[in-house]
Structure 1
Amino acid sequence: MYSSVVRLQNAFGFFTTVAFTVAAIIAASDLLSPRTPSVGVLKTTNVQVVRGRPHYYSSKKEEYAIIKFSLDADLSTLFTWNTKQLFVYVTAEWPSAGGSGSGQNASNQAVIWDSIITAPSADHLANLGPVGMKKLKRSAEGKSIDPSRGKLTLKNQRPKYQITHPSGKVAEQEDVVLRLHYNVQPWVGLLTWNQDVNFWKWETLKNNLSKKFALPAIKKKKEEKKAGAAR
């Protein structure tokens, strides 16, 4: 006869096999749900370059850019019954001066804003205060998939992070663009990012790139004095 230890090992082995099989089916079910995210508006509303200390812990003064933007996007189709939360972020990107041929990065990329959007089943993980959590739970009562989640409407949004550069200079940069990114974090399965090509029912994120713009120059002290005298 089998000993108790052997029986326990067999039961545990059967349990893990069933658990992994069910998890694989759940992860594969995401492929059956269409993903059609789109962006209606992504544009800058105000761009400034300032010289100073971008953070309280900065040891020296440097140039940093502050970019305000407006965003209107529909990412609601990224939420399925297997979605835990959605990480959304906006980056500013511009080509490097030297390019890849000089041993530098071909382009620069900096995150200026981000947000985590939880699914109703993961609202308890949201980092909100008591009042915000009550409103969130009230809006999600009885819903496994909330159609309003993932619909972003931001007007003249202030950036969470300023743009800096190792060289300490960012003024007068040309061909800068804003780009919207997302990262789907499921309960079971692999993390997925915004894809470059269409894959079956999953489509690429449309219109997630803004028009090109330039980071302005820093105003000189003489010009500021003249402007102040004129006032």
Structure 2
Amino acid sequence: MHSSWMRIQNVFSYFTTVLFALGACIAVSDLLTPRAPVVNSLKFTNLQVVRGRPHYYSSKHEEYAIIKFSLDADLSSLFTWNTKDVFVYVTAEWPSSSSASANTTTNQAVIWDTIITAPSSDYLGNYGPATLKKLRKSAAGKSIDPSRGKLVLKNQRPKYQITHPSGKIASTEDVTLRLHYDVQPWVGVLMRNHNVDVGLWKKLEGSVSRTFTLPSLKKKDEAKKAKA
């Protein structure tokens, strides 16, 4: 006869096996749900390069780029019953100026980001009482809120100024803006935007802006002449 301890172990083993199988089925279901995120428009609206210090006590000055942009994207298809939240961010990318390396590297810096919670996880977001009440009201009676994931930003100010390890970023050429997303499910693996279709999950269309060049840094003499 089996002891009580062995019976408990068998029940626990059976329970974890069933739980793991159920979780695997839920994770695979994400690939069976049609998703077609699209970016209708992504473009810069204002460019500025300024000089500043990385912190208050530093005597070193660096160049910082401030990139304002406009965005029109529909990521609502990313939200399903298994979606916890979607992390969205915009990066500025430009090729490395180093010609010594045979492999071309790309510089990438985040200029803006946001977290879009699903109706089932609004309580986890950093929302005030009024905003949370409004979100709950919009999601009432809906398994998926169709307005979630629709981003319309005009002349958006960046959250982060960007620089380069060399401290020089003015007059940088071939700069592009790119939209990224990370989908965090309740059960499953973190999914990022991909360049190819994966099952019914379509690649993100229109996520890259046209190339542009960052402005040069104005010299003090030129600034004085402009004021005169």
Q: TM-score, normalised by structure 1?
A: 0.94
Residue in 2 aligned with 1:130?
129
1:34 corresponding residue in structure 2? 34
Counterpart residue identity of residue 169, structure 1: K
- CA–CA separation in structure 1 for the residues paired with 2:91 and 2:39: 15
Which deviates further from its counterpart, 196-205 or 74-83?
196-205
**CA distance 1:17–1:99, shift in 2 (3 Å):** farther
Corresponding residue number in structure 2 for 1:146: 145
Letter aligned with residue 123 of structure 1: D
Where does residue 203 of structure 2 map in the other structure? 204
**What TM-score does the superposition give when structure 2 sets the normalisation length?**
0.95
User: Does the CA contact (< 8 Å) of 2:31 and 2:198 recur in 1?
Assistant: no
Quote how far apart the aligned CAs of 1:59 are: 5.7
Aligned amino acid, residue 53 of structure 1:
R
| Runs of 5+ unmatched residues, structure 2 | none
Q: 2-side partners of 1:78 and 1:123: how far apart?
A: 16
Distance 1:164 1:117 in 2: 27
Matched residue type, 1:12: F
- Asked if the contact 1:184–1:191 (Cα under 8 Å) also holds between the matched residues in 2, the reply is yes
Once the two structures are aligned, what percentage of the paired residues are identical? Answer: 68
Q: Which moved more, 1:7-16 or 1:94-103?
A: 94-103
- For structure 1, the 5+ residue unaligned runs are none
Q: Is the 8 A contact 1:37 1:206 kept in 2?
A: yes
Amino acid at match of 1:86: V
Separation in structure 2 between the aligned mates of residue 215 and residue 91 of structure 1, nearest angstrom: 14
Change beyond 3 A, Cα 1:19–1:174: same
Q: In the aligned structure 1, how far is the partner of 2:105 from the partner of 2:100?
A: 5
Give the conservation status (yes or no) of the 8 Å contact 1:99–1:107. no
Change (3 A) 1:141 1:55: farther
The Cα of 1:150 is off from its aligned counterpart by 0.6
Paired amino acid for 1:140: A
Letter in 2 for 1:91: T
The Cα of 1:142 is off from its aligned counterpart by 2.3
Residue matched to 2:183 = 184
Q: Give runs of ≥4 in structure 1 deviating > 4 Å.
A: 54-59
Cα separation, 2, equivalents of 1:78 and 1:57: 45
CA distance in 1 between counterparts of 2:128 and 2:55 reads 26
Residue 44 of structure 2 aligns with which residue? 44
Structure 1 equivalent of residue 109 of structure 2:
110
Root mean square deviation of aligned Cα = 1.6
Q: Which amino acid aligns with 1:136?
A: L
Cα distance between partner residues in 2 of 1:99 and 1:82: 46
